[in-house]
Structure 1
Amino acid sequence: MAELKADVLVLGAGMVGVGAALHLQKRGRDVVLVDKHQLAGEETSYGNGGLIESASVFPYMFPRDFGEILRTAMNRAPQVRYAVSDLPAFLPWLVRYYLASAPDRALAGALAVMPLIRSSLIEHEALIAEAGVPELMRKSGWIKMFRSEATLARAVRDFERAKQYGVQGDILDDAAIHEREPHLSGEFAGAVHFTEPGFVLDPGGLAKAYAALFQRKGGRFVVADARTLEQDAGGRWSVATSDGRLSAREAVVALGPWSDLVTGPLGYSLPFNVKRGYHLHLASRGNAVLNHPVLDTDLGYLLAPMNRGIRLTTGVEFARRDAPPTPVQIARALPRAHALFPLGEPVDAKPWMGARPCLPDMLPAIGRAPRHPSLWFDFGHHHHGLTLGPVTGRLLAEMMTGERPFADPAPFAVERFG
């Protein structure tokens, strides 16, 4: 059977992989998008809060407050849960995460990723217009609510700091919260309404719309197992498909939480881990309407008005990527969410579980593989895969095609880990 050929194989059809494929295609490359599913956006890109976080200029770092660390260690923080049996496996990574979260290192990381964060909505808007799906995004921002004066005060300080870097928003008191969200119940110390970010009403659907755009423009989408990736004596990369081997001069690893299954056998030992998360869609009762995504910060869950229903999302679970689901955080959040908003019956048969791919400094790996000049990395986007997929795709495509990168790619090179 004849070998199928292309310029570039992009392994992974989540938001990150599709973003890279589109930008490479735009620069004249013959690109094949490879995924184990028949459709794009079926894994991590499907389950998230739907936020294009152009205001999140500071990454999600390990807490430095002793009380918060103690609550987390005792498994009493609603925002984080861990499986005690898995602690030996991920404790060394947590130590690296803690060290990378030192204030000076965290600030350096924030400054490095800021050009990408601040350009993220611009890149999405361009692709949404080209894909013809403006109905999938609102530009109303999201609301981060606080029940205690202490957590509100810290948030206001953080917001004032973020304003120095161009972040916009409003400080809300309890009355203003209920004015913007009249169907919420309960009393709050206050909130921050981040007014800039976009909100996607169907994240998996947006990835599919971008993949459809890629195919309309001549791109190929092939079902294959990325773990079959091989390099031949001539330096070409190939994967096995039902129609034979598919080969290309270059390959991009954009497999999110499964990226190590390809990079590991090739000799790359990266400090890679996952943060698992869950969501559940529920109907609204009566004529109740939720206008924005709202984060009940102190109780550790978010409600977002998706096309499928109100999506209840949890915080972080530290567990093995492939361990059976343990949706304890969903069970704990459900009564709190029912008290906050008039929720009806679940739309989903069971909670969805996904995994966020993380490196300890909460920066993605973007760039050339050190020992394989024709292999490229585009993974590790932690909580910001939806946000950063198109913009890191642009950065990667500029590097691969010899353009001058719009942002400094050096902080995202895997050589930073030695």
Structure 2
Amino acid sequence: MSAAVQPKRIVVVGAGIVGVATGLHLQREGHSVTLVDPTPPGRGTSFGNAGSIAIGSVYPTGSPGNWKQVPKMLTDPMSPLRIKWSYVLKAAPWFWHFLEASRESRVEEISHYLWALSKDAMVSHRKLIELSKAYDIVKPVGWLKVYSSQQSLDRTRHEREVMTRRGVKFDVLTADEIRQLEPGLSPKFTHGYHQPENGFVSEPVKLTEAYFAKFQELGGKWVPEKVRRFAMGPNGVEKVVTDLAMYPCDAVVICAGARSHEIVAMLGRRFPLDTERGYHLNLNVQEGPELRRATVIGDYGFVLAPMQDGLRLTTGAEFAGVDAPPDFRRIYRMLELAHEALPGLKAEVTREWLGFRPSTPDSVPVIGRSPDHANVYFGFGHGHIGLTLAARTGELLTDLIAGRDPGIDLTPYRIDRY
């Protein structure tokens, strides 16, 4: 630890990949860090993603083309988008901000903000991978998207144009080039593109657990408890009060995923965070072609990812809140399409999973210091790119807590931008 950095007692609320990576950075710097989360590290939403460290994720969920397709998607039983009608009224404020962020000028602006974070995401992860010796989990095989026609690929034209302007590297592929990367894919996929700089995490929970093991080795601790409230003093939060104990602290970091807005509300601040519920099925492959990397089946919006424990089928952006029961009907409809994508595939479903992506209306995470309390910091709202930005978010927050210049302007990520 730098002699200029004074050790602090820090409570990090949330033990997903963002919270664990942040905790590891802070503990490495010499602070005394406690992770507070009733769910074991990495066993919440961080468990079930498609495993991409997506350097090129600069295109927001809301865009001029995407939102216009929403009415059609909601009536399509094969669509990856679903909104529970009883939830529409509650979600209305979020969607209002979402539409505002979907204007072309805003998309261009937002892409700059996302690129400022994502361009160094792999570099940041490599530091933690080296520290935790998690070498065999992340593979440099890139991120592949395939389509069955030129028309389907053309729907991504604006996204690819924005990526090009930001300097994201990708290669547009012919049918033969797709087959060279993934010989087992159906020949129906004749168009696509590959982002070679993306990393593939072959078991996301193991990466989180590796970071967490190093965090513990350095003296950090996790308590399986639920935050009830914050005890305030003249300098901000003095204690984090859980259902079982009280934790005196010099600083608090909120990395609580889809529940972050509830925690933030305890501090008197409102933020329009919602959850895009995402599903996956784990397939035990008994017979069929090998898949080497996570592959987006662009015509239908699902991903096939060859994880260490099976082939993972991920899909869906469902708006129904965090408490509604899961609905696996749509993802099971995708099973037939997965078999079409990988001819000869014979597999048994061994797991059904539902997770909650913490999504901001503009796809920009909240990273920075609270405008209300000097010793409170935020690192949440990463949506589809929590795995991607976890290590970078931890670096930035560690710099802020140390009083160092983080090296980028964090104004676009402030919590009071709405």
**What interval of TM-score do these two structures reach, taking the shorter chain for normalisation?**
over 0.9
Verify the 8 A CA contact 2:67 2:102 in the aligned structure 1.
no
Q: By how many angstroms is 1:218 displaced?
A: 1.6
After superposition, residues 59-78 of structure 1 pair within 5 angstroms as 59-64=60-65, 68-75=69-76, 78=79
Aligned to 2:408: 407
- 1:22 counterpart = 2:21: no
Aligned to 1:81: 82
1-structure distance, mates of 2:104, 2:228 = 38
Q: By how many angstroms is 1:266 displaced?
A: 2.3
Q: By how many angstroms is 1:328 displaced?
A: 2.4
**Cα 1:374/1:262, change in 2 over 3 Å:** same
After superposition, residues 159-170 of structure 1 pair within 5 angstroms as 159-170=160-171
- Relative to the length of structure 2, the TM-score reads 0.93
**Cα 1:46/1:150, change in 2 over 3 Å:** same
Q: By how many angstroms is 1:104 displaced?
A: 1.1
**Cα 1:268/1:69, change in 2 over 3 Å:** same
**Cα 1:133/1:189, change in 2 over 3 Å:** same
Which deviates more from structure 2 when the two are superposed, residues 353-362 or residues 260-269? 260-269
Aligned to 2:363: 362
Verify the 8 A CA contact 1:8 1:29 in the aligned structure 2.
yes
Seq. identity, %: 35
Verify the 8 A CA contact 2:63 2:104 in the aligned structure 1.
no
Q: Please give the per-residue CA displacement for 1:354-378, whole angstroms capped at 9, x wherever unaligned.
A: 1111111111111122222211111
Aligned to 2:340: 339
* 3-state SS, counterpart of residue 68 of structure 1: helix
Q: By how many angstroms is 1:183 displaced?
A: 1.4
After superposition, residues 17-416 of structure 1 pair within 5 angstroms as 17-37=19-39, 39-64=40-65, 68-75=69-76, 78-156=79-157, 158-232=159-233, 235=236, 236-240=238-242, 242=244, 244-286=245-287, 288-341=289-342, 342-349=344-351, 351-416=352-417
Q: By how many angstroms is 1:156 displaced?
A: 4.8
**Cα 1:329/1:287, change in 2 over 3 Å:** closer
Q: By how many angstroms is 1:66 displaced?
A: 7.2
2-structure distance, mates of 1:63, 1:205 = 37
Q: By how many angstroms is 1:406 displaced?
A: 1.8
1-structure distance, mates of 2:286, 2:185 = 12
Query: Which amino acid in the other structure matches residue 250 of structure 2?
Result: R
Q: By how many angstroms is 1:160 displaced?
A: 4.5
1-structure distance, mates of 2:173, 2:322 = 38
Q: By how many angstroms is 1:232 displaced?
A: 4.8
Query: Which amino acid in the other structure matches residue 261 of structure 1?
Result: E
Q: By how many angstroms is 1:19 displaced?
A: 1.6
Which deviates more from structure 2 when the two are superposed, residues 39-48 or residues 340-349? 340-349
Query: Which amino acid in the other structure matches residue 187 of structure 1?
Result: K
1-structure distance, mates of 2:362, 2:417 = 10
* 3-state SS, counterpart of residue 209 of structure 2: helix
1-structure distance, mates of 2:242, 2:410 = 31
Verify the 8 A CA contact 1:52 1:200 in the aligned structure 2.
yes
Verify the 8 A CA contact 2:287 2:347 in the aligned structure 1.
no
* 3-state SS, counterpart of residue 158 of structure 1: helix
Verify the 8 A CA contact 1:8 1:248 in the aligned structure 2.
yes
Would you say how many aligned residue pairs link Structure 1 and Structure 2?
410
Structure 2 residue runs without a partner (length 5+): 1-6
1-structure distance, mates of 2:390, 2:197 = 18
Structure 1 residue runs without a partner (length 5+): none
1-structure distance, mates of 2:408, 2:68 = 37
Verify the 8 A CA contact 1:293 1:302 in the aligned structure 2.
yes
Verify the 8 A CA contact 1:290 1:304 in the aligned structure 2.
yes
Q: By how many angstroms is 1:40 displaced?
A: 0.8
Query: Which amino acid in the other structure matches residue 368 of structure 1?
Result: R
Verify the 8 A CA contact 1:223 1:241 in the aligned structure 2.
no
- Relative to the length of structure 1, the TM-score reads 0.93
Aligned to 2:4: none
Q: By how many angstroms is 1:408 displaced?
A: 1.0
